[in-house]
Amino acid sequence: MLLSPRSDSELKYRNLVLDLININDHMKYYACPSFTCATEAHSMLSLFENARCLCGQEMQELGHTAEELRDRVAFVEGDRKFIITDDLHISIVSTEARELILRRRNIIEGISIEERFVHLGTREVLKLLKHSLVSKTPMTDVILGQGDILTSMVKSDPYEYLKLQIYPQTEKKRINLKLLVQISSNTVLYAVANEDFLDFLFSFLTFPVGTVVELLDGFSSIGSIDNLYRSVEDLCSRSPETFTECKDLLLRPMVAWHHGCENQILQIKEGNRLLERFKIKLINPKYDDTVYKRGRGFIRKPMKFMVSDELYVLPYSPMSSICFLNRLGAQRNDLEERFVTVGEQQAMSILKASLTTTTALTNVFCQKSEGAHSCFCCNWG
């Protein structure tokens, strides 16, 4: 669920020209071996193996889903042609669009440009996906081979101010953290957190990219993805028939059913396209028993965890804390505890920082700028 999450749009993936994720291996469905039980008595389905039906039998993989669970199209209706710029801005082919792109680059047509025809297979498209997440020139990087993944990475300001709404302290869902801060550098060494904060952090792994961009109001700073998102918005307004069915799937995607968690601070919804289409119930794997009700988190029992500045997670214990500090060479008289509260504003900041920096906790809780939180501090030792 976390390392290989499902998608609410996965029925669409079967219509893509290229099978980027080996669909038949990744998107499996499991049902009760009893036909009557699977279709009439309980009508339950599981997205994960080793599930048991309410009748007690272990569910078996369905071997006929590839065709029966196929949608009519992928995401784009019709037979349009599009212009895609180096930074993944997309527009419908037209003389006006072509001339605008050339003018912006101060290019004289016929003098300094040439046409090239290229073939993109699965390998090239996967490389394009990877570069689109970190580069402003993914097409040049992949097709012309003029940049590796490290040199192409976008440098973002670690203290970029997030223009987020300030929520009142009375909001319902809030999480308490204890931070250990190095005073001399004003950096977070680690946070001590309960399972509720881990549920929140781990939920990032289930978010569709479109959900992240929507949450961050179109400014995710993820490579060229923001341009891709804005292109869909523009195309939906200029040519609504092209994206009639898929506008919400692309601009407001939901996490897959049962991939949410009770400790979610952000406004994330679970999709149910599979349930609506086939009138079935999906088993929730976060419960030990066979249930289809929503809820629960990813961590099954109360625990304390240590979360490093770069969001590496370990079970917390006094010994693990001492070993961690020794590896960093931290001095006890240079340490300070700070107690902070995570609400929706801080949660959004952590989400964005996790995408753009390796010092997420420091960027959110130790920056000295307008709108910075207040916290209670005490000396360590």
93 and 179 housed in the same domain: no
Specify the pLDDT at position 161.
Answer: 39
195 and 344 housed in the same domain: yes
Q: Does residue 277 belong to any structural domain of this protein? A: yes
125 and 226 housed in the same domain: yes
201 and 321 housed in the same domain: yes
Q: Does residue 360 belong to any structural domain of this protein? A: yes
CB distance 221 to 156 below 8 Å: yes
Question: Can you tell me whether residue 308 is helix, strand or coil?
Answer: strand
59 vs 31: CA distance, rounded Å: 5
275 and 336 housed in the same domain: no
For residue 261, what are the domain limits? 10-74+255-282
Which residue in 51, 75, 74 sits closest to 247, CA to CA?
75
Specify the pLDDT at position 224.
Answer: 92
68 and 194 housed in the same domain: no
Which residue in 21, 351, 75, 360 sits closest to 217, CA to CA?
351
Contacts of 75 (CB under 8 A, 6+ apart): 12, 243, 246, 249, 250
Specify the pLDDT at position 131.
Answer: 92
**Residue 180 C-beta-side C-alpha neighbours within 13 Å:** 23
**What is the token pair recorded at 308?**
């490093």
Contacts of 163 (CB under 8 A, 6+ apart): 217
141 and 186 housed in the same domain: no
Which residue in 270, 280, 296 sits closest to 30, CA to CA?
280
Specify the pLDDT at position 167.
Answer: 40
> pLDDT by residue for the chain (381 residues), tens digit each?
888 888 888 878 777 888 777 766 777 888 888 888 877 777 788 888 888 888 888 888 886 554 555 556 788 877 888 999 999 999 998 888 888 888 887 777 666 778 889 999 989 999 999 999 999 999 999 998 876 655 545 445 444 434 444 444 445 689 999 999 999 999 999 999 999 999 999 999 999 999 999 999 888 888 899 999 999 999 888 888 777 778 888 899 999 888 888 878 998 888 877 666 667 788 888 887 777 777 788 888 888 999 999 999 999 999 999 999 999 998 989 999 999 999 999 999 999 999 988 999 999 998 754 444 444 444 444
**What is the token pair recorded at 158?**
């670690």
**What is the token pair recorded at 75?**
């995401």
For the entire predicted model, the pTM comes to 0.83
Domain count, the chain: 3
Q: Does residue 67 belong to any structural domain of this protein? A: yes
61 and 201 housed in the same domain: no
Which residue in 323, 306, 309, 305 sits closest to 182, CA to CA?
309
70 and 86 housed in the same domain: no
179 and 152 housed in the same domain: no
309 and 371 housed in the same domain: yes
Q: Does residue 98 belong to any structural domain of this protein? A: yes
CB distance 246 to 253 below 8 Å: no
236 and 261 housed in the same domain: no
